[in-house]
Amino acid sequence: MELLCHQQRHQTSVLWPEDIDRRLNILVRTAAAAGERTSRAELLAALVAAAETNPETLASLLHHYRRMPTDALAEDRERSDLPVVRSPGPRRTASS
């Protein structure tokens, strides 16, 4: 049996607010706190796979997001209770 998470990859580009991007990083760190090693891409895939396909449910979710004030995710800025997760790949070196 082939698993969905092992299918061929498709790259996408997402343009969204900075606080949403920060929230995704917090969710990856939250998964790490639960003992899960994951990536932003895998977490997004899991959230999309779990999303309801009911039109009213999806519309409600969109309406809720569109009405969120700019400070709705402010508590995500400082989350010292979560582990720091380093992204895979080569590390940048400080230039002198």
List pLDDT tens digits, range 15-31.
Answer: 999 999 999 999 999 99
User: What spatial distance separates the first Cα and last Cα of the chain, rounded to whole Å?
Assistant: 52
What's the whole-number average pLDDT of the chain? Answer: 91
How far is residue 89's CA from residue 38's CA, in Å, rounded to a whole number?
Answer: 14
Q: What is the pTM of this model?
A: 0.83
Asked if 76 contacts 23 with a C-beta cutoff of 8 angstroms, the reply is yes
Instruction: Please state, in angstroms and rounded to a whole number, the distance separating the CA atoms of residues 14 and 11.
Output: 10
